[in-house]
Amino acid sequence: MTGADRPQPDPVPLRSERYIAFFDLAFTRFFRRHMRAARVARWGLPQIPAGAPAVIFVNHPSWWDGVAVMLLGRRLLRERRVFTPMAAWALEKYGFMRRIGVFGVETGTTRGTVAFLRTAERVLQDPRHALWVHAPGRFCDPRERPIPIAPGLTRLPELAPAAWFVPLALDYPFWSERKAEMLVAFGPPMPASGLLAMDREARAARLADALEAVADRLTEDAIARDPDRFETLVQGKEGMGGIYQGWRRLGALLRGQRFDPRHDHQPDRPA
């Protein structure tokens, strides 16, 4: 077989830094308009060892998870080049994402799984890269237990034995404002070598346990409704907005008071 006849490895998905910078601005503006805040738990900041690739495996509770890839990648994983798969049919609707590290996967077929693993292996050959994977392989309520683990995820340690596997939990509760919160937390990284010592069934259970532990702790913070437990990454607009909020702002101005649009603001608390 000649060199021209040999199958060529799948290329690493495209990442244009110019596109990423532009869409970070666009996604951030969109987020601020429609969500109250993106917050990371103070105990759940990412601590991923350098010098090896990473697999960020995430629960998948919402459409907003796609926005989370951009917001968190630019603010908490900046030293990494983040790549993520998306269903091929969905990527057809958002073609621009092909230039920001997103690659298409044919879902529900053996051929699609094989193609995903080939691309994932290429991505994880570079120690600067991080592969963001939705662990369940489908939308999954953040309270669902056990958290499903897609078969493709359990095979990744075999393809990247030097990688670190990092659980990431996302939740989108409503607190006291009309817009939801984006709450996030990373868990302790796990070496692929430890996962390789298990069979695939035990490996899936270990990944699920790690992700559930982070998600359960994040749920406790969500229930507490205390922003001081978090670092705010992106702050959106607060209050009702519209004519009524403008009227309240004018009233505060006429009274010589500082206007606070928040529904839950107490007069004896600092704004």
Report how far residue 51's alpha carbon sits from residue 242's, in angstroms, rounded to the nearest whole number. 50
- State residue 90 phi and psi, 5-degree precision: -75, -35
Amino acid present at 255: R
Residue that has been written with the tokens 């683990």 in this structure: 149
Where does the pLDDT of residue 20 fall: very low under 50, low under 70, confident under 90, or very high at 90 and above?
very high
- Mean predicted lDDT score pLDDT of the chain: 88
Write down the pTM of the prediction: 0.84
- 262-268 mean pLDDT: 52
- Two tokens at 202? 């035990």
Q: Which of 190, 257, 171 is nearest to 52 (CA)?
A: 190
pLDDT above 70 (res 40): yes
Start and end residues for every CATH 3.40.1130.10 domain found in the chain: 17-235
DSSP 137: S
Cis previous bond, 136, omega within 30:
no
Fold (CATH) for 17-235? Glycerol-3-phosphate (1)-acyltransferase (3.40.1130)
**For 14-18, 43-47, 54-58, 204-208, which range has the lowest pLDDT when averaged over its residues?**
14-18
Handedness of CA 221, 40, 85, 49 (dihedral sign): negative
